[in-house]
Structure 1
């Protein structure tokens, strides 16, 4: 019964949507990488929808692009928390930021691999 009550708690859902919207506004305002990756999504998603032969291919092409945004948001959150702790250089702070950056790189590499595999299967 508690699960059903939680699912129907529209006030909590509305507040959560507001927090999410605030997060998107912060990312758009403060994160150049997020804006670049969003532009990439806006340009390539229609192409992915057109090039994909079925729902699976379309979801792989567009989903890989969306994954980059998700990882970038998490990377930005890590950077904000590290900066909140302090501006002093610390080895662990640098490692945290580097690991977040590496995660974004892996997500971007995944886009290249997915698009190459889907398009190679279609055209070769």
Structure 2
């Protein structure tokens, strides 16, 4: 049980630090704040609502992992290294894929809401 409590405190510490200093994380939190009420009006079912909010949460999760990769790389070396560049670029690509996926899910849901046709 102590490990679970310690892990919770570590997670809260990471959340606070990211919310205070990482612009991308702050933007994605604002997106989540907007998505929670907007998703209610866009979704045509509870499962659709869960999918919309889950897509934004997945984006935030990938951003957190990308930030962890970047922090690890910066702790190893601040000098240019082709392998570190690849690690950072891969993290960035993962975020981009998440943005495209989340955006696609939202577009399909909006299309379904407007035209009433399940996609």
| TM-score (normalised: structure 1) | 0.87
The structure 2 residue matched to 1:112, chosen from 103, 110, 114, is 103
Runs in 1 of length 4+ with deviation above 2 angstroms? Answer: none
C-alpha displacement of 1:29: 2.1
State how many pairs are aligned. Answer: 115
Structure 2 spans left out of the alignment, 5+ residues? none
The structure 1 residue matched to 2:45, chosen from 51, 54, 57, is 54
1:82 and 2:94 are equivalent in the alignment? no
- Per-residue deviation, residues 57-103 of structure 1 (Å, max 9, x unmatched): 00111110111110000000000000000111011111111110111
> Looking at CA atoms only, which structure, 1 or 2, has the larger radius of gyration?
1
Q: Distance in 1 between matches of 2:67 and 2:14?
A: 10
Partner of 2:86: 95
C-alpha displacement of 1:49: 2.3
Q: Distance in 2 between matches of 1:122 and 1:36?
A: 26
| TM-score (normalised: structure 2) | 0.91
Q: Distance in 2 between matches of 1:121 and 1:32?
A: 32
Partner of 1:123: 114
1:15 and 2:6 are equivalent in the alignment? yes
Q: Distance in 2 between matches of 1:111 and 1:25?
A: 24
What CA RMSD, in Å, does the superposition of the two structures yield over aligned residues?
1.1
C-alpha displacement of 1:51: 2.1
Partner of 1:36: 27
SS across alignment from 2:44 = coil
